[in-house]
Amino acid sequence: MICRDQLVAACDHQLRAAQFKDFTVNGLQVSGSEQVKRVMTGVTACQALLDEAVAWQADMVLVHHGYFWKNEPVAITGMKQKRIKTLLDNNISLLAYHLPLDAHAEMGNNAELARRLGWKVEGCLDGELGEGLLWSGRLAQPLSVKALGEQIAHTLQRQPLIIEAPQVGGYRAHRVVYRRRARHDYCCL
């Protein structure tokens, strides 16, 4: 068992949450039990995940996509009200990290994409939202754009959208610049 606030502080520190200009609140979004025995993780704090957390008797849910996004209506009604009520009624904390989980060098989405595709990370480009969101790397071997698309599709089990300039038809990629996100991956050769 660990104190909720200690766990939140450790996650905030490890993920460098304060260093990002995000579109949402990173860190503790809904406060529940002060003591944490069980943490459920997921991508999005949807109702199905929260129902599983209740059934599993979780004290905390840690997700990539939480609540309270910029330009989102602030009223807590409908679907948002039901989700927050589930958390409050069951004394479950909601901890969410968006850009910090995209960028983290070991646990982040970019790092995992590079590992799964066998890319050698060469560096990160800093942007206005925070460092580590746009990575560059070298492919294990040069690939045509088509072959790279097939590798991504096979590894991630989803079809990438490839926009190829006509003049690079026979181009073989050696390097990539990429950003891994939950619904969209960006990859430039």
Say if residue 165 is in the same domain as residue 87. Answer: no
pTM (predicted TM-score):
0.81
Residue 168: what pLDDT? 54
> Which residue among 80, 98, 116 closes a domain?
98
How many Å apart are CA 133 and CA 2, to the nearest integer? 31
**Residues spanned by the domain of 57:** 2-98
- Interval 132-177: pLDDT, tens: 778 888 888 888 888 888 998 999 998 888 776 665 555 566 666 6
How many Å apart are CA 148 and CA 172, to the nearest integer? 9
- Interval 70-123: pLDDT, tens: 999 999 999 999 999 999 999 999 999 999 998 888 888 888 888 999 988 888
Say if residue 80 is in the same domain as residue 112. Answer: no
Say if residue 157 is in the same domain as residue 181. Answer: yes
Quote the number of domains for the chain: 2
Query: CB 96: neighbour CB atoms within 10 A?
Result: 25
Binding residue numbers for a divalent metal cation: 64-65, 102
- Per the rule left: phi > 0, alpha: psi between -120 and 50, beta: everything else, 82 is alpha
Say if residue 83 is in the same domain as residue 143. Answer: no
Say if residue 52 is in the same domain as residue 127. Answer: no
What is the tally of helices (H) and strands (E) in the chain? 6, 10
> Which residue among 98, 122, 137 closes a domain?
98
Binding residue numbers: 64-65, 102
